[in-house]
Amino acid sequence: MGFRRVIAVERKGAAVLVADEQIERLDAAGIDPIWRTDSDPEVPNSGEVPDAVGFPDPGGVWVIGWVLEPGRIGDSDNGIVVMDDEDPGFHRTDSVDVHVLLEGSLVLELDDGVEIELNPGDTVVINGNRHRWHNRGERTARAIVTICGASRNDRQEN
């Protein structure tokens, strides 16, 4: 994905570079951890990214890079998200996810069959709804995703 650089504040109050490192791919699902907190962040901090699996608890915020190769259905085999066995790749999480597509193209499929095409620069906010991702293009799709852990309210309101 690239490099992760984190700026913090040293004891005397000056800005200091505390992390300058290659971002390592977390798994075959194409997730690159960039930053996360599972509680109210405190500054300054060390810039470390703790290990994590799954999704943030309510109030937690994670920022990840996400890659989906051509011809793939997103999250279909990462073991992190609970999948719908009858509809491969369909899932929902207890989170609000803000996706910003940087490169390539993606199709976001909703459970009613509606498909939304995303191109570089496009943003979509997913509010815990059932969905799946497709990369039907010929290029790798790359996105930055901010995931905000949320509590689920199953009361349906229109």
8 A C-beta contact, residue 64 and residue 75 = no
Residue 133, domain member (yes or no): yes
pLDDT digits (tens, 9 = 90+) for 48-70: 666 666 778 888 888 888 999 99
pLDDT of residue 80: 47
pLDDT block averages, 10 residues each, the chain of length 158: 73 78 64 71 63 76 90 64 67 89 94 92 90 94 92 68
The model's pTM is 0.75
Query: 101 in helix, strand or coil?
Result: strand
- Name the token pair of 44: 């300054």
* DSSP H helix total and E strand total for the chain: 0, 10
pLDDT of residue 82: 52
Burial 85-101 (b: 16+ CB within 10 A, else e): eeeebbbbbebebbbeb
CATH number for 107: 2.60.120.10
- Name the token pair of 14: 């000056």
Residue 94, domain member (yes or no): yes
Residue 155, domain member (yes or no): no
pLDDT of residue 108: 92
Q: Which domain holds residue 134?
A: 3-149
Q: How many domains does one find in the chain?
A: 1
Residue labelled with tokens 């490169």: 103
Residue 156, domain member (yes or no): no
